[in-house]
Amino acid sequence: MESSLVNYKSEIGKGKLKEMLYQMILIRRFEESVEKLFMQGKIHGTMHLCIGQEPTAVGACAALTNEDKITSTHRGHGHCIAKGTEIPGMMAELLGKVTGHCKGKGGSMHIADLEKGNLGANGIVAGGLPLACGAALTSKKKESGYVAVSFFGDGATNEGSFHESLNIASIWKLPVIFFCENNRYGMSGDIKQMANVENLAERAASYGIPGVIIDGTDVLVVYEATKAAVERAKNGEGPTFIEAQTYRWRGHSRSDARKYRTRVEEQEWMKNKDGIKNFKDRLLLDGVLTEAEVKEIEDKVKQILDDAVEFAEKSPEPSLDSLEEDIFL
């Protein structure tokens, strides 16, 4: 689906378009770096990569202000970066170092950045939706004027808290956006085996919430849909459900042999629906950016990541006597 933003150059402006491409490339290269560090045994636990899904995070967050809130998921690196979290602190957090965003004790699935309006990644599937409703209720009661966007996956739409959140957000007309990154699979289950509706957005109708289905690999389409939902929420018209159709290129987590889908299917998505390549080609074709400017972006991203890895590797681990600090006992 081509973006309906025909005059996107003048409507969005070169600076913001360049920033969108920069952020998507930063997310992909960040994840390639952490994947490598994981394979080298420098990152412990597991990790969920969002490579292939960069346009949802970037397009949605481009429609938000710093004051607007997001809640994220177990696959949250892209959301963090798109909402403005600094890379060195993220890298250090993944390596379990004291200079990390959660002092090295949270890791990939617990990064939060309240100054940037990121209320946190979440290891509990659908755990972010009630939090976003809470933030939206606060905004409404205090007349703060911000919206809350909850990112979640297709699998999360089968959780009770998803349904409870949509219901309460609808009856209270909360300024919240339910942003479903439908990448077609849960951990290993095909969505077709898990939900008996053609499109997940249909579920919103039963709560009186408008549902829109979009191409989640086109950053401009994502931006446009989120912007419309933000306007609706800020005008007091209540929540919107966005189903962004996308694909995770990697397995669910590091230990996934991907037996539930074919390599042919993966190749097709990677070849035809690479949101970064397609956006870059479009910007070049339409004369928004030059090849030299794209190279500048790639070079800048490389430098940021090289510096971040060095910073994280040189940082100390949390000391043993801080073991019981900053945690619930």
Interacting residues with ligand TPP between 287 and 326 (CB under 6 A): none
Per CB under 6 A, 153 contacts ligand TPP: yes
Give the side-chain half-sphere CA count within 13 A for 236: 4
Per CB under 5 A, 153 contacts Mg ion: yes
Cα distance between residue 222 and residue 216, in whole Å: 6
Residue 183 C-beta: closest distance to Mg ion, Å: 4
Residue span 97-116 as binding mask against ligand TPP, x where in contact by CB under 6 A, dash where not = --------------------
Ranked by CB distance to ligand TPP, the top (closest) residue is 153
Residue 79 has φ and ψ, to the nearest 5°, of -60, -45
Q: Which amino acid is at 311?
A: F
Instruction: Count other C-beta atoms under 10 Å from residue 159's C-beta.
Output: 16
Per CB under 6 A, 186 contacts ligand TPP: yes
User: Measured between alpha carbons, how far apart are the two ends of the chain, in Å?
Assistant: 50
Rank residues 22 and 151 by Cβ distance to ligand TPP and give the closer one. 151
* Nearby residues of 146 by Cβ (< 8 Å), 6 or more positions away: 65, 67, 68, 69, 117, 135, 139, 175
**Which one of 20-28, 76-84, 118-126, 271-279 is the stretch in contact with ligand TPP (CB under 6 A)?**
118-126
Residue 12 C-beta: closest distance to ligand TPP, Å: 27
CA distances to 2, 88, 293 from 216, rounded to whole Å, are: 11, 28, 25
Residue 168 C-beta: closest distance to Mg ion, Å: 24
Interacting residues with ligand TPP between 27 and 86 (CB under 6 A): 74-75
Per CB under 6 A, 130 contacts ligand TPP: no
Cα distance between residue 88 and residue 74, in whole Å: 20
Among Mg ion, ligand TPP, none, partner that 75 touches (CB below 5 to 8 angstroms by kind): ligand TPP
Residue 190 has φ and ψ, to the nearest 5°, of -75, 135
**Which one of 31-39, 121-129, 230-238, 300-308 is the stretch in contact with ligand TPP (CB under 6 A)?**
121-129
Residue 67 has φ and ψ, to the nearest 5°, of -75, -25
Residue 194 C-beta: closest distance to ligand TPP, Å: 9
Cα distance between residue 89 and residue 91, in whole Å: 5
Rank residues 73 and 315 by Cβ distance to ligand TPP and give the closer one. 73
**Which one of 1-9, 14-22, 182-190, 220-228 is the stretch in contact with Mg ion (CB under 5 A)?**
182-190
Per CB under 5 A, 243 contacts Mg ion: no
Tell me the chain's radius of gyration from C-alpha atoms.
Answer: 19
**Which one of 137-145, 147-155, 196-204, 270-278 is the stretch in contact with Mg ion (CB under 5 A)?**
147-155
Residue span 234-273 as binding mask against ligand TPP, x where in contact by CB under 6 A, dash where not = ------------------x---------------------
* Nearby residues of 217 by Cβ (< 8 Å), 6 or more positions away: 52, 55, 245, 246, 247, 273, 274, 275, 278
Binding footprint of Mg ion on the chain (CB under 5 A): 153-155, 183
Binding footprint of ligand TPP on the chain (CB under 6 A): 74-75, 123-125, 153-156, 183, 185-187, 252
